[in-house]
Amino acid sequence: DTGVSQDPRHKITKRGQNVTFRCDPISEHNRLYWYRQTLGQGPEFLTYFQNEAQLEKSRLLSDRFSAERPKGSFSTLEIQRTEQGDSAMYLCASSFGLAVADTQYFGPGTRLTVL
């Protein structure tokens, strides 16, 4: 197992386009988290899944954002009608257990640039 993977690593898109990112967690990790990180900031929580259930969403996650984890394995994060303010690094993390304090293992991130 090579750890958490994310695809693509970089995405450049024009304002108004839709984009989708994928995260493959470490096998058998039941929790999967999405974060957004902008320049000069720490990661900001967006949402998380326990198995296939999305249990919490941040207020940062506007109605243009949607995340899924259909079979409790990989997850996708879709942004519709992208805006320049969506430009950021999108990080995925996974963990095994039932507590947020369980060690989260991060992926390399997807850097989104909206022109």
96 is a site residue for another protein (CB under 8 A): no
Taking the least distance from each CB to another protein, the nearer of 17 and 37 is 37
Asked if 105 is part of the footprint of another protein (rule: CB under 8 A), the reply reads yes
70 binds another protein (CB under 8 A): no
Residue in 16, 55, 78, 115 binding another protein, rule: CB under 8 A: 55
Q: Which of 16, 56, 113, 115 touches another protein by CB under 8 A?
A: 56
Residue 28, sorted as left (phi over 0), alpha (psi -120 to 50) or beta, turns out to be left
Selected from 21, 48, 65, 90, the binder of another protein by CB under 8 A is 48
Give CA–CA dist 6/25, Å, rounded: 9
Contact 80, 18 (CB under 8 A): yes
Beta strand ranges found along the chain (DSSP E) = 5-7, 10-13, 19-24, 31-37, 44-50, 53-57, 65-68, 75-79, 88-95, 105-106, 110-114
Residue 85, amino acid: G
Minimum gap (Å) between residue 24 Cβ and another protein: 14
Which one among 104, 110, 112, 114 touches another protein, defined by CB under 8 A? 104
Give the interface with another protein as residue ranges (CB under 8 A). 3-4, 33, 40-45, 48, 55-56, 58, 91, 93, 100-101, 103-109
